[in-house]
């Protein structure tokens, strides 16, 4: 049985497609790393806010009356900022990759990133307004 040999043009197309797919997957992995980092910062910020608030209510002395809220807000804001930066990096990577092969921006990790960015903004606003 004879094996059909591919031409050099066909091999180049196959290799380019595989390289584009690896680049797309790398962009998704980077976005998921941004997701994890942002979630950790936002979660730690909210936890720190609640712990310092409990210490303050138990009679503990803190440098300022607003220390729990300020510390929590800083970490939540950093988490939201890192999530937005991750989204921008992902969007730019996929946009550049679309010159070679079409890939949709709307992947599950991108939906999660958008949801987390919106949730982070909501959390930040609740800390600012004192709803929590």
pLDDT less than 70: residues of the chain: 1-3, 8-14, 132
Give the per-residue pLDDT at 9: 66
Owner of token pair 């999660």? 112
Owner of token pair 């310092």? 52
Give the per-residue pLDDT at 132: 67
Owner of token pair 């946009």? 95
Which of the 8 DSSP states describes residue 67? H
Give the per-residue pLDDT at 18: 79
Q: Tens of pLDDT along 113-127?
A: 999 999 999 988 988
CA angle 127, 129, 132 (to 5 degrees): 50
Give the per-residue pLDDT at 91: 93
Cα within 13 Å of Cα(101), Cβ side: 13
Give the per-residue pLDDT at 65: 86
Handedness of CA 74, 79, 83, 88 (dihedral sign): positive
Q: Model pTM?
A: 0.79
Identify the three-state secondary structure at position 102.
coil
The residues spanned by each domain of the chain are 25-129
């Amino acid at each position: 049985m004879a094996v059909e040999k591919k031409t050099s043009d066909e091999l180049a197309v196959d290799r380019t497609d595989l390289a584009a797919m690896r680049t797309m997957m790398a962009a998704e992995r980077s976005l998921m790393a941004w997701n994890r980092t942002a979630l950790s910062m936002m979660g730690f910020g909210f936890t720190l806010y609640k712990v310092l608030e409990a210490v303050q209510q138990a009679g503990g002395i803190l440098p300022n009356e607003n220390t729990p809220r300020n510390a929590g807000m800083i970490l939540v804001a950093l988490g939201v900022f890192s999530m937005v930066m991750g989204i921008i990096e992902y969007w730019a990577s996929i946009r550049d990759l679309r010159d070679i092969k079409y890939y949709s921006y709307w992947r599950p990790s991108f939906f999660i990133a958008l949801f987390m960015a919106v949730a982070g903004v909501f959390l930040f606003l609740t800390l600012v307004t004192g709803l929590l």
